[in-house]
Structure 1
Amino acid sequence: MRTIRYVLWGLVAVAVIAIAGFAFMPKTGPGLQLSAIGGPFSVVDQKGQPVTEAALKGHPSAVFFGFTFCPDVCPTTLFQATQWLKQLGPDGDKLKVYFVTVDPERDTPEQMNNYLQAFDPRIIGLTGSRPQIDGILKAYKVYSKKVGDGEDYTMDHSASVYLLDSNANFVGTVDYHEKDETIMAKLKRLVAG
């Protein structure tokens, strides 16, 4: 009987230690600080109008980084974003979708405006000078690298869509290979606030 009591008290002690350990564990993955994603920036939209980080507040946002000469990922993602906005129905008007260039040398406001004509008119293109774009890429921890030389170069870049709440806080991503059901569930939660 005494042995059983010691075993039970030992199990209680282990449970208390485990619960305390979980309570003090970091709430995000190793090295990931959600608050560290985002920050000040100043660029222009496809109409040449100034845009700062303040534009991301007051509504949920989906932010994608790419370039207009992209052969596959960018047009596919923007086509998907067009479909997301339609599938959200009236809630689609609550979500702002931003397409931020990683190639400002070619993606002028005029080029962005022409390119975005093929997609939902609610999608907003953002561009600027190389230092301005480098600033937003750094703030959002976006990978981008020029590949090749001459006029036919391409760009390697992150392919995820960043999801931001109405306070412009990073809350997650949409991965390029996620299923539509998963994406729509994320977007519905995002616009529901």
Structure 2
Amino acid sequence: MTRLYASVAGVAVAAMLGATAYVALKPSGDDVFAQCRAGSVAGGSGSIGGPFTLVSETGETVTDADVITRPSLLYFGYTFCPDVCPADNVRNAEAVDLLIEQGHKVQPVFISVDPERDTPEVMAEFTEYMHEDMLGLTGSPEQVKAASTAYRTFYRKQPSDDEFYLVDHSTFSYLVLPEHGFVEFFRREETPEAMAERIGCFVDAAGA
């Protein structure tokens, strides 16, 4: 119970810290996705995302150009996370399945913030359980940090003397389109249905 409580408390703090990167503003009139947005990003959507180099669950070094070949839903977390990450990834997988029913093929992507334990093999096992199309990405600590910094996410390993440490982290999911980059974020309280509706709007507006 102590471990579970610590994880929930840590993620809650991380989510609040990560939330400082965003503000709810009316979209600008020249935004092609204006009708789809629930809010705007402080500094503009161009301030989120960008190039990254990571290692796929098959052990291959990949870049963002290799990964974002279709609309993608990115989530930063870790496989040892006892509750939040599994719940969020299940929610994302459900949204992806709803989008498939609408004729939209969106790839769920899970990026580890715990490269010490999340080897490609561990990531493959986790993503296979979550969704057949989910792609797991890990890498060196430097690669993971660079990707996290690009997406303005937060993570921090809790002090521990054993292998069962927890990692505080932010909990946003990010919609990224091949020709547009990052376009929208989703908080963890959003339902699969609400996510699918908004993502479908973005995909239609982009002609993807």
TM-score relative to the length of structure 1 = 0.79
From 135, 144, 159, the counterpart of 2:146: 135
Instruction: Kindly indicate whether residue 203 of structure 2 is the aligned counterpart of residue 191 of structure 1.
Output: yes
The 8 Å contact of residues 60 and 168 in structure 1, kept in 2 or not, is answered as no
The aligned residue for residue 69 of structure 1 is 80
1:25-40 equivalences under 5 Å are 31-40=42-51
Instruction: Kindly indicate whether residue 42 of structure 2 is the aligned counterpart of residue 45 of structure 1.
Output: no
From 160, 167, 187, the counterpart of 1:155: 167
SS at match of 2:194: helix
Equivalents in 2 of 1:39, 1:121: separation in Å? 26
Deviations 1:52-95 (A, max 9, x none): 01124442111000000001111011111221222122556621
The 8 Å contact of residues 58 and 167 in structure 1, kept in 2 or not, is answered as no
| Matching residue's letter, 1:60 | P
Equivalents in 1 of 2:166, 2:182: separation in Å? 28
The 8 Å contact of residues 160 and 174 in structure 1, kept in 2 or not, is answered as yes
Equivalents in 1 of 2:103, 2:61: separation in Å? 24
SS at match of 1:88: helix
The aligned residue for residue 179 of structure 2 is 167
Equivalents in 2 of 1:66, 1:159: separation in Å? 8
How many residues end up aligned between the 2 structures?
169
The 8 Å contact of residues 115 and 138 in structure 2, kept in 1 or not, is answered as yes
The aligned residue for residue 106 of structure 2 is 95
The 8 Å contact of residues 58 and 166 in structure 1, kept in 2 or not, is answered as yes
Name stretches of at least 5 consecutive residues in structure 2 with no aligned partner. Answer: 1-27
TM-score relative to the length of structure 2 = 0.74
Between 1:74-83 and 1:130-139, the stretch displaced more is 74-83
Name stretches of at least 5 consecutive residues in structure 1 with no aligned partner. Answer: 1-21
* Distance change >3 Å, CA 97–CA 73, structure 1 → 2: same
* Distance change >3 Å, CA 179–CA 121, structure 1 → 2: closer
Cα deviation, residue 164, structure 1 = 1.2
Cα deviation, residue 131, structure 1 = 0.6
